[in-house]
Structure 1
């Protein structure tokens, strides 16, 4: 082999070796800092990072819709999404009606239940969704899954957005406005206890959670199978009584374009013993993040890397 050919061959070998050892960055879109996605996303990023191999970071975002769009565009490698939003994106239905289907969207794991919170001040007289008529109600920001679900809940109780005085702000801002009397109620979809609501309850502002039940809830469960009945225990938030509500699932989604081995390593790391201990100790929702729950209520196809792990674990055939 002449010197020139040898140099080309050597550079090719070195390039391959460099690629094999290159550190990969894995950005995970979460939600607002006062919600549940952000702290849980931070714990997952810490748990799956492997210095010198994969560095995962959790990034604040506007939530489910924003994360799905970021994964689709390649500006994030993964993101948290409500199960309903992920299904709509993949099928081009619901909030994605009339938009191109996100056919590359893939599931890494179903994580934990997300409760629909409807928060009001104690003694407000608001006992049902129907009582929101004419009231000042925050529905969360555009790009959030909360906004989509709040609209569905209002519709199920026979209300349009024009029947309320809507505001499109994050739950921590909504909590401040509820506290000072410039807001009557706010919706938030997130794993209980959610930071903004816990903070509000602990601040001495008496709050209540409005139940979501009855025939209206039953009709929603029938028309939208990603909803489930869920119970928030008394004391989840300081001095707040138990309530029955509806829930969706939080999911970690990615793109089919992300390499199989990368997602396999991340999935495997997330369900390792040290990661599981850290997740359970770090947040009330951590105890739900098990490999058994990961394969429930998929709605969209699993990423081949995640599928490989679950098949090895005997959870998928």
Structure 2
């Protein structure tokens, strides 16, 4: 079964889970819904969001954790919502159409401070962090035979930079600039990785950017069916990016992560789970506690390759945005924060 098919089934299962929970809710018990904005279904945010939604949910009438039932927040039904990604999720949280969402650490920092991509826009001062999750690797995927060995080789090529509203688009522009290129130097398109991969498979796309945890489903399928090159983001240009933007870090995609691709040096940002300061402290405290219980640990370890990287050891790393008061309370009680 392909990873993409698995993720689609996960989404369907989440929908059925929610419907069943509503149908079986005990009369008079309070029920609360909590949406997690993720990304496209071919990326990493979506399956991780599905795992966390299941972990923090505990529908009315369900067995308690002590009795072998759900170990989430009592009365809570969480759902993972496909979206455009980081920028879109933050904007939706600010507008009230999402209770929480995943975002890249750089985009969160820019939104909170009104800098970078949010320059000239109102600061999202009510943005708060629940947890730092895992490193998001910047992939530059090239078509076999396109002769793209460096970012500089993208000049004049057909390149997808991802959709407007995505953190990938923001980072792709920064990377192009570090190599002396702009959007005008490439034949830019703005597609999600699964769409870009289909175009590449048909010979209509030379390269595309994707920021997310490896292995990414769309890239893995493309590597298996058509073969790909993964272009390194390294050297003095990468060092310049690392020096200017502290939220980037060196990263390595291990050999054979994708079929036929050796070890590749690149850079990464962090994926973070954010919410609004207006969300109740008690609710976010319960969600944070459910995130780090033993039941969730098992779900993360078995549910996705990147789930193993979501650990309390790194939950507070690279935060450029304040913690939500409810999350802060949990981390202090757990001895992770003074």
Shorter-chain-normalised TM-score: which range? over 0.9
Correspondence for 2:34? 26
SS of the counterpart of 1:292?
helix
Correspondence for 2:118? 96
- Deviations 1:223-245, CA, capped at 9 Å, x for gaps: 00000000110111112111010
C-alpha contact 2:131 2:273 (8 A) present in aligned 1: yes
How far, CA to CA, are the matches of 1:291 and 1:55 in structure 2? Answer: 24
Correspondence for 1:264? 285
Alignment of 1:120-269 (within 5 A): 120-203=142-225, 205-269=226-290
How far, CA to CA, are the matches of 1:208 and 1:264 in structure 2? Answer: 44
Determine whether 1:36 maps to 2:44.
yes
C-alpha contact 2:54 2:78 (8 A) present in aligned 1: yes
Correspondence for 1:298? 319
How far, CA to CA, are the matches of 1:127 and 1:61 in structure 2? Answer: 31
Correspondence for 1:66? 88
Determine whether 1:286 maps to 2:294.
no
SS of the counterpart of 1:308?
helix
C-alpha contact 2:142 2:229 (8 A) present in aligned 1: yes
C-alpha displacement at 1:122, in angstroms?
2.5
C-alpha displacement at 1:21, in angstroms?
4.8
SS of the counterpart of 2:93?
helix
TM-score (norm 2): 0.87
How far, CA to CA, are the matches of 2:210 and 2:30 in structure 1? Answer: 40
How far, CA to CA, are the matches of 1:88 and 1:194 in structure 2? Answer: 26
C-alpha contact 1:120 1:209 (8 A) present in aligned 2: yes
How far, CA to CA, are the matches of 2:290 and 2:217 in structure 1? Answer: 26
Unaligned stretches of 5+ residues in structure 2: 1-27, 61-74
How far, CA to CA, are the matches of 1:124 and 1:223 in structure 2? Answer: 30
Correspondence for 1:15? none
SS of the counterpart of 1:231?
strand
Unaligned stretches of 5+ residues in structure 1: 1-19
C-alpha contact 1:34 1:171 (8 A) present in aligned 2: yes
How far, CA to CA, are the matches of 2:317 and 2:141 in structure 1? Answer: 29
SS of the counterpart of 2:58?
coil
C-alpha displacement at 1:206, in angstroms?
1.2
Greater displacement, 118-127 / 213-222: 118-127
Runs of 4+ in 1 over 3 A off after TM superposition: none
C-alpha contact 2:143 2:205 (8 A) present in aligned 1: no
How far, CA to CA, are the matches of 1:131 and 1:292 in structure 2? Answer: 39
Larger Cα-atom Rg: 1
TM-score (norm 1): 0.92
C-alpha contact 2:55 2:290 (8 A) present in aligned 1: yes
C-alpha displacement at 1:123, in angstroms?
3.2
C-alpha displacement at 1:121, in angstroms?
1.9
Correspondence for 2:5? none
Q: How many residues align?
A: 298
C-alpha contact 1:208 1:241 (8 A) present in aligned 2: no
